[in-house]
Amino acid sequence: MANCNKLFLDFNKDLRPSKTKRGRMKISRENLRDKIRDHFNENHPEYSPHFYIQGSANRLINTQILYKDNTCDLDDGIYFFRDPDVEAKTLQGWVKEAVKDATDTAPQHRRKCIRVIYQDDYHIDLPVYCKKDKDDDSTPPELADKDNGFSPSDPKEFVEWFHDEKDDDKQLVRIVKYLKAWGDKIRNKMPTGLALSVLTAECISCNERDDIALKETLVSIKSKLDRSWKLEMPTVPHDDLFSGYDDDKKDYIIEKLDAFIDDANKALDEPNQLKASNLWRKHLGDRFPKGKDEDTDTKEEALKKKAAILSSNAFVGRDGKVTDDSKAGKPVPDTKNYGGKI
- Residue 302 pLDDT greater than 90, yes or no: no
Q: Given the DSSP bridges, would you call strands 122-126 and 72-80 parallel, antiparallel or unpaired?
A: parallel
Task: Please enumerate in sequence order all residues whose Cβ is within 8 A of that of 37, keeping only pairs 6 or more positions apart, or say none.
Answer: 49
By annotation, the residues acting in catalysis are 73, 75, 125
Measuring CA to CA, how many Å separate 33 from each of 1, 80, 124? Answer: 51, 13, 11
- Residue 167 pLDDT greater than 90, yes or no: yes
Alpha carbons 63 and 189: distance in angstroms, whole number? 21
Query: What pLDDT was estimated at residue 328?
Result: 62
pTM > 0.85: yes or no: yes
Report which of 103, 96, 118 is spatially closest to residue 25, judged by C-alpha positions: 118
Per-residue pLDDT tens digits for 213-255: 999 999 999 999 999 999 999 999 999 999 999 999 999 999 9
SS3 205: coil
Alpha carbons 141 and 263: distance in angstroms, whole number? 44
Task: Please enumerate in sequence order all residues whose Cβ is within 8 A of that of 185, keeping only pairs 6 or more positions apart, or say none.
Answer: 68, 283, 284, 285
- Residue 197 pLDDT greater than 70, yes or no: yes
Q: Given the DSSP bridges, would you call strands 149-152 and 142-145 parallel, antiparallel or unpaired?
A: antiparallel
Alpha carbons 295 and 278: distance in angstroms, whole number? 14
User: What confidence category does residue 332 fall into, taking pLDDT thresholds of 50, 70 and 90?
Assistant: low
Domains of the chain (ranges, CATH numbers)? 17-159 (3.30.460.90), 296-331 (no CATH)
Average pLDDT over residues 318-322: 52
Query: What pLDDT was estimated at residue 339?
Result: 37
Q: Are 194 and 73 in contact (CB under 8 A)?
A: no
- Burial label for 112, CB within 10 Å (0-12, 13-18, 19+), is middle
* β-sheet bridge partners, residue 295: 272
Per-residue pLDDT tens digits for 271-282: 999 999 999 999
Which string of DSSP letters, residue by residue, matches 272-292?
BHHHHHHHHHHHH-TTSPP--
Per-residue pLDDT tens digits for 96-130: 999 999 999 999 999 999 999 999 999 999 999 99
Query: What pLDDT was estimated at residue 336?
Result: 38
Looking at the chain, the whole-number percentage of residues with pLDDT higher than 70 is 87
Q: Given the DSSP bridges, would you call strands 330-331 and 49-54 parallel, antiparallel or unpaired?
A: unpaired
Average pLDDT over residues 32-53: 98
SS3 52: strand
